[in-house]
């Protein structure tokens, strides 16, 4: 068996282990899906009337859902770091170290299983969005493309969180450290408001924030935009799919090797 085949087989085994854990501890999945439902209802019914269309040309509920999608999958990536830190704390990583398995299998298995979590979150959010009035105006193929852009970006951010989980090694610290970065990243964007309403420096940050491009890509592919109200004349938002994929590729190229190297250092102690 080749090294690649063995690594892929080991990663698949770890992925299955993580999915079995979700089945046996369903509370993890319940609380993961409750948060996006809460955000959908909160912004749609509490803030929606006050925010309005803000020059977007579409109903706020249709403007909102893609932002909720983007925010949720990015926040969901913190589960990767939390789970790795928890495995380190409980000694599961030491068990993996004693097994004849690929050093990278644990990380790939963890991040791949979290893609499954994000798929469930997207389905739950989509159903919640349909209840409050959101609709997919584009084709089914385009909608699938929008979901794939969200999942690819979330997978890339999962590797950032994997590195964080290996460095801090305490689940509570992972949550706190991730929140400090992810919270402003998902709110200083076009997730919930039109970025043109933001003050100068924040507007510029929102224009080039990859979360904005992921959100814009999802809106366009779901058909939740109005041709009479084009996005700002900024390359990142004029080509949101390409910009999002470039960011995803760069993040993976940097953080996959860093996370694997840190895992090897951690398990060699």
CB 222 within 8 A of CB 137: yes
Mean pLDDT is lowest, of 25-34, 39-48, 98-107, for 25-34
**Per-residue model confidence as pLDDT tens digits over 115-153:** 888 888 888 888 888 888 888 998 999 999 999 999 999
User: What distance in Å separates the CA atoms of residue 33 and residue 21, rounded to the nearest whole number?
Assistant: 16
CB 174 within 8 A of CB 81: yes
Tokens of 193: 């408001």
CB 73 within 8 A of CB 150: yes
More confident residue, 54 or 215: 215
* Mean pLDDT along residues 203-207: 95
**Per-residue model confidence as pLDDT tens digits over 165-181:** 888 878 888 888 888 88
pTM of the prediction?
0.89
Contacts of 115 (CB under 8 A, 6+ apart): 151, 154, 155, 158
Mean pLDDT is lowest, of 83-92, 138-147, 192-201, for 83-92
Q: Could you tell me the residue ranges of all domains in the chain?
A: 3-267
* pLDDT of 56 higher than 90: no
């Amino acid at each position: 068996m080749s090294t690649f085949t063995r690594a892929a087989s080991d990663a698949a085994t770890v992925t299955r282990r993580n999915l079995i854990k979700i089945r046996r501890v369903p509370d993890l999945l319940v609380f993961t899906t409750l948060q996006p439902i809460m955000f959908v209802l909160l912004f749609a019914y509490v803030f929606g009337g006050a925010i309005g269309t803000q020059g977007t040309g579409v109903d706020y509920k249709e403007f909102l859902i893609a932002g909720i999608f983007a925010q949720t999958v990015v926040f969901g990536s913190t589960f990767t770091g939390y789970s790795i830190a928890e495995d380190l704390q409980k000694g599961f990583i030491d068990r993996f170290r004693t097994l004849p398995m690929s050093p990278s299998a644990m990380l790939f298995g963890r991040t791949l299983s979290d893609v499954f979590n994000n798929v469930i979150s997207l389905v739950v959010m989509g159903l919640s969005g349909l209840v409050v009035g959101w609709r997919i105006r584009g084709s089914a193929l385009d909608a699938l493309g929008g979901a794939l852009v969200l999942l690819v970006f979330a997978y890339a951010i999962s590797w950032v969180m994997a590195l964080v989980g290996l460095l801090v090694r305490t689940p509570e610290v992972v949550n706190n450290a991730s929140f400090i970065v992810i919270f402003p990243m998902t709110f200083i964007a076009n997730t919930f408001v039109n970025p043109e309403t933001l003050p100068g420096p924040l507007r510029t940050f929102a224009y080039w924030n990859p979360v904005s491009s992921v959100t814009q890509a999802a809106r366009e592919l779901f058909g939740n935009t109005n041709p009479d109200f084009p996005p700002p004349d900024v390359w990142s938002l004029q080509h949101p799919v390409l910009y999002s994929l470039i960011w995803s590729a760069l993040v993976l190229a940097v953080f996959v090797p860093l996370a694997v190297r840190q895992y090897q250092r951690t398990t060699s102690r």
